[in-house]
Structure 1
């Protein structure tokens, strides 16, 4: 009996694509959770170490911080599914709230420079990533134990969220520092960039740019094929392995509408399955 594997079919490619997407999302979620938990633990330690608090007050505050963290964990799933826009001022306020216990009871003086009220609203993914990036930077400064003051500033130029995080440490931080690797990976994943500048004895500055719009995607079907702008949006998400519910959430339409657009795409492309449609799209992209 011939045991040689047969040729891969179109349907074989879909699970691997979906698995890769799930793995990337899982790693991102785990990194964000780790940052949040680290901030909570650092805050609790700062409370317990505070000389100005007696045992009873420290215990009460530590319980409050832990309880708030538990509530945040329960809301985590819903927050990640939220694809709505966030006003830049509101997103910045949530960051301040994340860091409040650490700022209030720790030795690190964190200064917040408010973004302009007129700044463009942030896509949910950008807002979540920006908060995670700043939390990671602050934790890196805390772990180094050198900085006594950190300045956090957000701005928006209409196309990008501009983040600046500056400390007053020894000024030895470089772009190749291991503590910055999670930040660089997250920024690159959003098609942004990060610059690190340090001055010995004066501190280091992280300047980060996060685009507010996804990078332009090439057309996935020939121009001669009569497809609507919305159908192209659906196809763009379809080739990433997104399922109907995810596509509906990202485009703010119903699942039935997604099914309708997929059906039209199948008919127009002459494909008999979603897998064949994706392969046709990828072939025309090359």
Structure 2
């Protein structure tokens, strides 16, 4: 009896995706989809990765210019997980795109200039959807199991993006407000021109402030919203787990949580609830969040026999996650009455002393370029200061991206800041 042909290329693509680190997942997904759907670039937009919400591969002209605002606008037009073909503003101009959502994390996949390859044995679109679901799930898992180094870099990148956006907002707001004042001046007698330009400038000012607000939304989550997402995550357990899970609502006016703190907090609570459900005689678990303005305060308590140990592998793993955010986990056990776990997660990253960057293996000139990037200087200014060509600066910047495993100047600056380089 003839054996069916094994689709080894597809299986190898699935294996590569299943093993992909976050920094390489866009490139691996693009390589996996190209045999089924041609494209000029592939962009993943996911708010799970607060420090690096975009993951990109393909033509440099597109991946270097695509913005969060464009991706967020495109995602808002797609009602569900059904594939969406159309034209959208990507990297500064209208392009043909294929867009796909992943409902569990609200992630978005965008393929620019999609070209279905009808010669493939399996319909190209279905294969893209299948591979995208694997990649999106992989991103969720990697963020949930993020090591301390990733969490620290994520916090630094989030803070840096907010800082840069705030500075740009202040700069351009001042410029536009000055322009408005000048155009409204009675010394200008061309009323029609003044009215037209005033309207245009006002719209630009609103758009700029909206961009600033949206960037803040991407890296912060209201504490009540974060807690509601936790409740949704735990719904299957409360429905089928046989254990009552009680939720004590946090104050509605508490300080917004940084995105990486909210993600980590939900993962920690899920882990604690699952661990407690495995303990004998547990029939009820209470989870409570609060915020004192500087810390997220979590309390999880069960009504079991009080046999949970701080040395249990699951508690040790969760404690490592807490420590990654410079937090503290305390377990109190009351024999016959249950276990009480208190977790404190600081909302702001700690100030770090200058760290050893020897492991980056930077050449002397690369370190000089890095210091200029941290100072906010552009390539032309760096070139003039160092007495080298602008192309040489670009060469050193590309090497920095590769050695530091980042994809943008903002990530370079954030990582440098996390190591104490100012």
Q: Alpha carbons of 1:73 and 1:266: their partners in 2 closer, same or farther (altered >3 Å)?
A: same
CA-CA distance at 1:240 after TM superposition = 10
CA distance in 2 between partners of 1:157 and 1:149 (Å): 27
CA distance in 1 between partners of 2:254 and 2:303 (Å): 28
Q: Which moved more, 1:125-134 or 1:179-188?
A: 179-188
More helix by share: 1
Per the alignment, residue 232 of structure 2 pairs with: 97
Task: Say which of 302, 308, 318 aligns to 1:167.
Answer: 302
CA-CA distance at 1:178 after TM superposition = 1.5
CA distance in 2 between partners of 1:182 and 1:97 (Å): 23
Per the alignment, residue 71 of structure 1 pairs with: 103
Q: Contact conserved, 1:83 with 1:125, CA < 8 A, in 2?
A: no
1:130 to 2:265 alignment: yes
- Considering Cα pairs closer than 8 Å and 6+ residues apart, tell me whether 1 or 2 has the greater RCO: 1
CA distance in 2 between partners of 1:216 and 1:281 (Å): 9
Per the alignment, residue 336 of structure 2 pairs with: 201
Q: Secondary structure at the match of 1:175?
A: coil
CA distance in 2 between partners of 1:258 and 1:124 (Å): 23
Q: Secondary structure at the match of 1:144?
A: coil
Q: Contact conserved, 1:85 with 1:122, CA < 8 A, in 2?
A: yes
Larger radius of gyration: 2
Q: Alpha carbons of 1:216 and 1:71: their partners in 2 closer, same or farther (altered >3 Å)?
A: same
Q: Alpha carbons of 1:204 and 1:259: their partners in 2 closer, same or farther (altered >3 Å)?
A: same
CA-CA distance at 1:104 after TM superposition = 2.2
Q: Secondary structure at the match of 2:311?
A: coil
Unpaired runs of 5+ residues, structure 2, are: 1-19, 25-47, 49-101, 108-135, 144-153, 155-216, 361-372, 405-411
Q: TM-score, normalised by structure 1?
A: 0.54
* Alignment of structure 1 residues 14-53 onto 2, 5 Å: none
Q: Secondary structure at the match of 2:103?
A: helix
Q: TM-score, normalised by structure 2?
A: 0.38
CA distance in 2 between partners of 1:133 and 1:157 (Å): 19
Q: Contact conserved, 1:170 with 1:200, CA < 8 A, in 2?
A: yes
Number of aligned residue pairs: give it.
190
1:158 to 2:288 alignment: no
Q: Contact conserved, 2:281 with 2:304, CA < 8 A, in 1?
A: yes
Q: Contact conserved, 1:21 with 1:240, CA < 8 A, in 2?
A: no
Q: Contact conserved, 2:353 with 2:419, CA < 8 A, in 1?
A: no
Per the alignment, residue 143 of structure 1 pairs with: 278
Per the alignment, residue 177 of structure 2 pairs with: none
Q: Contact conserved, 1:171 with 1:201, CA < 8 A, in 2?
A: yes
CA distance in 1 between partners of 2:237 and 2:420 (Å): 52
Q: Secondary structure at the match of 1:130?
A: helix
CA-CA distance at 1:197 after TM superposition = 0.2
CA distance in 1 between partners of 2:383 and 2:140 (Å): 32
Unpaired runs of 5+ residues, structure 1, are: 1-18, 24-31, 33-69, 221-237, 242-256
